[in-house]
Structure 1
Amino acid sequence: MDRGIGLPDWAASNSHQKGLEAVMGQPEYFPPEHARPPAGPVTVVPSERSAALGRATDFTEDISSAAGLIWMDGSPQRLRDTLNRYPNLRWVQLPVAGVDAYHDVLREFGGKDVVFTSAKGSFAQPVAEHALMLVLALLRYLPERVRAATWRQPKGRSLYGATVVIVGAGGIALALTQLLAPFSVRVVSVRRKPVPMKGAVATVTPKELRDVLPHADVVVVAAALTEETHHMFAAEEFRAMRDSAIFVNVGRGALVHTPDLVKALECGEIAAAGLDVVEPEPLPDESPLWSCDRCIITPHSGDPAELVAPLLAERVTHNINALNNGDQLIGVVDTTAGY
């Protein structure tokens, strides 16, 4: 679980007095009726207004008495417009784990003491599950198998005892490390700060990435997208990898330079790739990745709505209660670092 932080002074001193309650937006897919927090549309409002707002209101209502906003609209520009219109809002809950799309809004309003929380960590288990599925499928040559139209000689590789480099050390990386434990793998963690990650035999910084890649049987990318991590996997990184290595990306598409990945697969610099995220998204139909029999592409489906909606509802409910009780918020975004 993500480490929370204490509430700012305005929330700690006022939340009990105002009796804040939650009302939240409800796009068609989120959240399912049984998983919704009490009340309706999009803000955290004083209790005397919650009944009046009901489930039919949206953020265009006058929310000048609200302290927080549970943002389900998705548009960064609409969020900026809302925050400019309602400077009373001091906390915003975002519906996604990766907040790179909100980068400019975070920088602008984080400097104005608005606290942002994301869904980071709450989607970890489904995405980690998806990453493990891609790894196992590639080790057993499933892209080739599903295209086959005749019986062929069996072949495959084992995950047991492999060296797995995981780039990123958030909730997905931690959940994946737990899933990998029964395979007796050696996990090497690559993260921004050289703080040991639980379950990893070694932890290095991105500056040392090329030093560990030649030892990896499997590389899984689950990092946040920032200015520093943009295209962190390109030609040099793929050349540093073994020609037998499996590459999986469940982080963000722009962490990888797609043309260099295509070349690495075509030239045999790496064995195979499993991609739940790509650049651009959606991947054009003419991309050579679609026809590559050593590549699996899933359409950003590691966190499907039916799996993550209850998890996000749980996160939202926790943070609402934290706001009410003066406790720690979970998933607080570092508006400078961008995640």
Structure 2
Amino acid sequence: MTNVLLTFPIKERFRNALKDQFPKVNFDFSDTIEGADEKEVEILVTYGSDLTEKVLDGLTELKWVMVASAGVDQMPLAGLGERGILVTNVSGIHKTPMAESILAHILSLNRALPIIQEQQKQKIWEKMKSNELKGSTALILGPGSIGGEVGRLLQAFGVNTIGCSRSGNRHDGMHEDILFNEIENTLPRADYVISVLPSTSETRWLLDESHFEKMKKTAVFMNFGRGDLVRERVVVHALQNEQIAHAVLDVFEQEPLPSDSPLWELSNCTVSPHVSALSAKYVERALEIFKENLEMWLSGDEGYKNVIETDRGY
């Protein structure tokens, strides 16, 4: 039998569904990677962070790692690649909750909801300024599955969307597409700069001081991809000096965000504790992709979904 270890907890109904659909597979639902080196694990289903180089060395029978998240930057990709181990993820399942989170923050800021809530606490009846989305422009760094859904929703509100990627190829949900090296020339046009980029050698520290200097003073910067897109000190400087109007950050250079970080205290910064992808449907969607790939694995087919190129990190 094929030995599969899941290192995160799933509900009983999901466990039963897996066992019913795959009676010839031995599922280990112990919810931990500890002791995995003694279990002859062939397939590992993990969120990723528990698979270290040391653990990988002990998994001598491992042939496939199914990562139940989109990011794989914390994993020993070099070692996985050297051993020819298949790596897949659940790219695509985050697009709905993340796009809705991003849209919620944009609408909240535009319609002054934080101010309304604060005034309610203080029992203040006072008008405040608010804006509308129609006619604005959003520069979306990473116009893939998530970025495309963000673009589609924004277009419904009359927003002009510009996708920015390594290839510059045409993407769904974008009115226009540009290359990474065209960012600086495009920033002066953007009312919203939204990043959903993964962490790769090409995206790490992609933005610096020069980029924020070119943004509109009324612009909103939003990072929902990875915290190593830009140094925290760069964002802090831009906010303190009002180079931009606001920042909404769901990911950070260091997580959890240290209590002494200036970002906590800045009134023009929204700190979100890496929660934009959370959804009650998360595990269900992740397991659907796993089951589809497991069917292929058992039948000898190789048309797997969401295969990660370990040398590129995505």
Q: Give TM-score scaled by structure 2 length.
A: 0.87
Question: Which residue does the alignment assign to 1:240?
Answer: 214
Q: Which residue of 2 aligns with 1:153?
A: 127
Q: What residue in structure 2 maps to residue 136 of structure 1? A: 107
Contact 1:95–1:119 (8 Å) recurs in 2: yes
Q: Taking structure 1 as reference, are residues 57 and 264 closer, same or farther at Cα in structure 2, changes over 3 Å only?
A: closer
Matched, 1:296 2:267: no
Q: How does 1:59-78 map to 2 (within 5 A)?
A: 60=35, 62-64=38-40, 67-72=42-47, 74-77=49-52
Do the aligned partners of 2:192 and 2:219 also contact (CA within 8 Å) in 1?
Answer: yes
* 1:106 aligned residue (72, 77, 80): 77
- Residue 18 (structure 2) aligns with: 38
For the residue of structure 2 that corresponds to 1:187, the secondary structure is strand
* Structure-2 change in CA distance of 1:288 and 1:84 (3 Å): closer
Tell me which residue corresponds to 1:170. Answer: 144
What is the one-letter code of the residue matched to 1:241? M
CA distance in 2, matches of 1:56, 1:107: 27
Distance 1:72 1:231 in 2: 24
SS at match of 2:293: helix
The CA deviation string for residues 93-138 of structure 1, in whole angstroms up to 9 with x for no partner, is: 0122111111xx1122213211101122222211111111111122
2:67 to 94, 105, 116: 94
CA distance in 2 between partners of 1:57 and 1:35 (Å)? 14
Residue 185, structure 1, aligned to residue 164, structure 2: no
**Structure 1 residues 292 and 73, CA, compared in 2 at 3 Å: closer, same or farther?**
closer
Q: Which amino acid aligns with 2:103?
A: L
Helix, strand or coil for the counterpart of 1:113?
coil
How far the C-alpha of 1:317 sits from its partner, in A, is: 1.5
Alpha-carbon distance in structure 2 between the residues aligned to 1:67 and 1:76: 14
Deviates more, 1:273-282 or 1:139-148: 139-148
Q: Which runs of 4+ in 1 moved over 6 A?
A: none
Deviates more, 1:133-142 or 1:159-168: 133-142
8 Å contact kept, 1:122–1:315 = no
Q: How far has the Cα of 1:338 moved from its partner?
A: 1.0
2:181 corresponds, among 207, 219, 222, to 207
CA distance in 2, matches of 1:89, 1:46: 20
Alpha-carbon separation, structure 1, partners of 2:214 and 2:258: 28
Secondary structure of the corresponding residue to residue 76 of structure 1: coil
Contact 2:77 2:313 in 1 (8 A): yes
Contact 2:195 2:222 in 1 (8 A): yes
Q: Which residue pairs with 1:6 in the alignment?
A: none
Code of the residue aligned with 1:92 in structure 2: it is V
Shift of 1:301: 0.8
Distance 1:57 1:100, change over 3 A: closer
- Map 1:248-259 to 2 at 5 A: 248-259=222-233
Question: Partners of 2:47 and 2:138 in 1: how far apart?
Answer: 35
2:264 aligned counterpart, secondary structure: coil
Opposite residue 130 of structure 1, the aligned amino acid is S
Runs of 5+ unmatched residues, structure 2: none
Name the CA shift for 1:213/1:291 in 2 (closer, same or farther; >3 Å): same
**What is the CA distance between 1:67 and its match in structure 2?**
4.2
Pick one of 262, 271, 275 that aligns with 2:245: 271
CA-CA distance at 1:305 after TM superposition: 5.8
What is the CA-CA distance between 1:189 and the residue it aligns to? 0.6
- How many angstroms does 1:23 deviate by? 4.1
In structure 2, distance between residues paired with 1:200 and 1:129: 17
Alpha carbons of structure 1 residues 140 and 293: separation in structure 2 relative to 1, 3 Å: farther
Q: 1:46 to 1:74 in 2, by over 3 A?
A: farther
CA deviation after TM superposition for structure 1 residue 310, in Å: 1.5
Picking from 111, 116, 122, the partner of 2:93 is: 122
Residue type of the alignment partner of 2:13: H
On the 8 A contact 2:149/2:173 being kept in 1, the answer is: no
Q: Can you give the 5+ residue segments of structure 1 that lack an aligned partner in the other structure?
A: 1-17
Q: Give the superposed CA RMSD.
A: 2.5
Query: Higher relative contact order by CA 8 Å / sep ≥ 6: 1 or 2?
Result: 1
Q: CA deviation at 1:221?
A: 0.5
TM-score (norm 1): 0.81
| CA–CA distance in structure 2, aligned partners of residues 171 and 71 of structure 1 | 22
Amino acid at match of 1:299: P
One-letter code aligned to 2:253: E
Superposed, 1:75-86 pairs within 5 Å as 75-77=50-52, 80-86=53-59
Partner of 2:6: 25
Higher mean alpha-carbon deviation, 88-97 vs 160-169, is at 88-97
Q: Identical aligned pairs, as a percentage?
A: 28
Paired residue secondary structure (1:38):
helix
